[in-house]
Amino acid sequence: MRASVGDHLVIHGRSVGLPDHTAEIVEVRGADGEPPYVVRFTDGRESLVYPGPDSVVRRRD
């Protein structure tokens, strides 16, 4: 998985009926766009994330 600042990380719900969570990547701490990422969720929270297999990166437009 590779990402750049400004991309969005989508974390899919782990169970049926749970919503996906989307966060903006504000910092890439790994080499060459690799995790971990510092992300900002829509409610303003920031978190250091090591994305799992239930996550995808959507490139910024």
**For each successive 10 residues of the chain (61 residues), what is the average pLDDT?**
96 84 96 97 96 93 72
Total domains in the fold of the chain: 1
Whether residue 2 lies inside any domain: the answer is no
Q: So what's the pLDDT on residue 18?
A: 85
Task: Give the number of other CB atoms < 10 A from CB of residue 60.
Answer: 12
Q: So what's the pLDDT on residue 37?
A: 98
Whether residue 54 lies inside any domain: the answer is yes
Q: So what's the pLDDT on residue 34?
A: 96
Owning domain of residue 32: 8-58
pTM of the model: 0.87
Whether residue 1 lies inside any domain: the answer is no
Whether residue 37 lies inside any domain: the answer is yes
Instruction: Judge contact between 39 and 28, C-beta under 8 A.
Output: no
Whether residue 3 lies inside any domain: the answer is no
Whether residue 48 lies inside any domain: the answer is yes
Q: Which among 38, 36, 35 is positioned nearest to 25, based on CA atoms?
A: 38
Q: So what's the pLDDT on residue 14?
A: 77
Whether residue 28 lies inside any domain: the answer is yes
Tokens found for residue 42: 């829509």
Whether residue 32 lies inside any domain: the answer is yes
